[in-house]
């Protein structure tokens, strides 16, 4: 990456929009949607796009944009900002495509786009020929490609880009590349006004992903210095169990703790979700199995049992997170506990691990924990309680 924007300390907190230099039309749109402050990643985007320009997205060498910022930090609005300024509503042609890995996430993003782009025709693929912008999964996009024209495409956004580039998804990228015309990748010297920007978005994108996409990355909006970190507002703790068979008891004890109203529980295997949800439902009638379908607007006092693929990027309302199966990868941990502590709110994440798993899990967690403070507890099979170990990891 040749240039990075937004590593200053002062960028770590939301800032009133009146304190950010931006085009009047953008400010008006944000105020209408009741946005009073810009989150750091959004402020960095505005700075990157508009500093030194008067409301136009600059047509200089800064073209592709990588948005690397922690979970819940407002990346969606940050990539909608260039769309607000760049889509010409008087032209009834396709100008933006946003790709998201799941239908649930695509639906959530579509809702946001409709909110901030009221004069645009934003579609999930239905009547795609009339859309200014499409928000869809790779599968749906590949189905539609033969019917779409790339001629006026100005923005191609990959939300949760690292997930989109996982092996199982890889062939769709080749098909998309085959559909894009040569000018999409023109060098700065021979680019025209029709240039296309690729915007890749993730809390856990690495340089390897970027080079795999073949991007000539020019701007990285990365307020915290590295994207792969958990938000500092999340209180992290671990509960150690002697044996695997004790974990269900420990989980129920954790769920009975005060304020554990909105909880999302992660297991590693998708086929274990229903089993655990059914076991919990005998004690907690509000336990819900995510494999049976969730809506992005699900905000009631539920205990949602899910696995990693199902809820990546989903914006739940103030959920606590419990990891029933300890994570073995940093990315997994970051995305799981990122379902809480969103939008700079406080959150709580509890990880269950057997004695055997403890060392490995702590190794993973310490690498991405921002505060480094992990409260340690253990399951006491005599008192049948989770007991404070009275020590910090
Ligand atoms: N400027 C803002 N003011 C108030 N709320 C905001 C602002 N920007 C975003 N939000 C809210 O913050 C929450 C998290 O935003 P968003 O879903 O974009 O996070 P994200 O960075 O994409 O997270 P993830 O990596 O988990 O997908 C959402 O509820 C969103 O509406």
Asked if the domains 3-221 and 234-392 are classified in one and the same CATH topology, the answer is yes
Q: Which fold has domain 3-221?
A: Rossmann fold (3.40.50)
The atom of ligand 1 lying closest to the CA of 343 is 12
DSSP lists the bridge partners of residue 198 as 156
Longest CA–CA span in the chain (Å) reads 73
Q: What is the dihedral of CA 57, 208, 41, 10, to 10 degrees?
A: -110
Measured CA to CA in angstroms, residue 37 lies from 211, 234, 291, 352 at distances of 33, 21, 36, 36
- ipTM > 0.90 for the complex: yes
Annotated domain spans of the chain: 3-221, 234-392
**Which of these, 296, 300, 388, 297, lies nearest to 350 by C-alpha position?**
388
Atom of ligand 1 nearest to the CA of 315: 17
Is the Cβ atom of 37 under 6 angstroms away from ligand 1?
Answer: yes
Q: Atom 1 in ligand 1: which residue has the minimum CA distance?
A: 38
**pLDDT string in tens for the chain (393-residue length):** 333 333 333 447 899 999 999 999 999 999 999 999 999 889 988 988 886 443 333 333 456 788 888 899 999 999 999 999 999 999 999 999 999 999 999 999 999 999 999 999 999 999 898 999 999 999 999 999 999 999 999 999 999 998 888 766 668 888 998 898 765 555 544 444 457 888 988 888 776 776 666 666 556 666 555 557 788 889 999 999 999 999 999 999 999 998 888 899 999 999 999 999 999 999 999 999 988 887 655 556 789 999 998 878 888 876 799 999 999 999 999 999 999 999 988 899 999 999 999 999 999 999 888 777 899 999 999 999 999 876 444
Ligand 1 centroid – CA 314 distance (Å): 10
Quote the ligand 1 centre to 345 CA distance (angstroms). 11
375 membership: H or E segment, kind and range: strand 374-380
Atom from ligand 1 closest to the CA of residue 73: 21
Report the nearest-CA residue for atom 22 of ligand 1. Answer: 75
- Pocket probe mutation, ligand 1, options 76, 81, 102, 222, max atoms within 8 Å of Cβ: 76
CATH number for the region 234-392 comes to 3.40.50.300
């Amino acid at each position: 990456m040749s240039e990075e924007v937004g590593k200053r300390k002062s960028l770590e907190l939301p800032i009133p929009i009146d304190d950010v230099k931006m085009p009047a039309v953008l400010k008006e749109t944000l105020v209408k949607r009741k946005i009073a402050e810009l989150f750091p990643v959004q402020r960095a985007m505005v700075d990157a796009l508009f500093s030194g320009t008067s409301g136009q997205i600059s047509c200089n060498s800064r073209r592709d944009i990588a948005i690397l910022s922690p979970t819940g930090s407002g990346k969606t609005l940050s990539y909608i900002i260039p769309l607000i300024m760049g889509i010409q509503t008087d032209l009834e042609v396709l100008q933006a495509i946003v790709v998201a890995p799941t239908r649930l996430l695509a639906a959530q993003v579509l809702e946001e786009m409709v909110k901030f782009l009221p004069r645009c025709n934003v579609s999930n693929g239905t009547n795609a020929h009339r859309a200014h912008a499409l928000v869809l999964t790779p599968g749906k996009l590949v189905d539609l490609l033969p019917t779409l024209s790339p001629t006026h495409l100005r923005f191609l956004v990959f939300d949760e880009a690292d997930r989109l580039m996982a092996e199982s998804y890889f062939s769709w990228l080749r098909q998309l590349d085959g559909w894009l015309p040569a000018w999409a990748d023109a060098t700065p010297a021979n680019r025209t006004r029709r240039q296309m920007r690729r915007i890749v978005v993730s809390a856990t994108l690495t340089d390897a992903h970027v080079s795999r996409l073949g991007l000539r990355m020019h701007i990285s909006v990365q307020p915290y210095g590295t994207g792969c970190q958990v938000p500092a507002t999340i209180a992290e703790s671990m509960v150690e169990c002697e044996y695997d068979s004790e974990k269900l008891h420990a989980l129920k004890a954790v769920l009975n703790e005060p304020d554990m109203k909105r909880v999302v529980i992660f297991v590693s295997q998708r086929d274990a979700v229903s089993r655990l949800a059914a076991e919990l439902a005998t004690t907690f009638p509000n336990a819900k199995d995510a494999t049976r379908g969730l809506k992005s607007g699900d905000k009631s006092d539920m205990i949602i049992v899910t696995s990693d693929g199902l809820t990546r990027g989903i914006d739940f309302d103030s959920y606590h997170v419990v990891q029933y199966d300890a994570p073995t990868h940093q990315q997994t941990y970051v995305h799981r506990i990122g379902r809480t502590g969103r939008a700079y709110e406080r959150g709580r994440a509890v990880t269950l691990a057997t004695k055997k798993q403890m060392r490995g899990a702590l190794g993973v967690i310490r690498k991405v924990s921002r505060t480094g403070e992990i409260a340690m507890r253990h399951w006491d099979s005599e008192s049948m309680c989770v007991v404070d170990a009275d020590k910090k990891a």
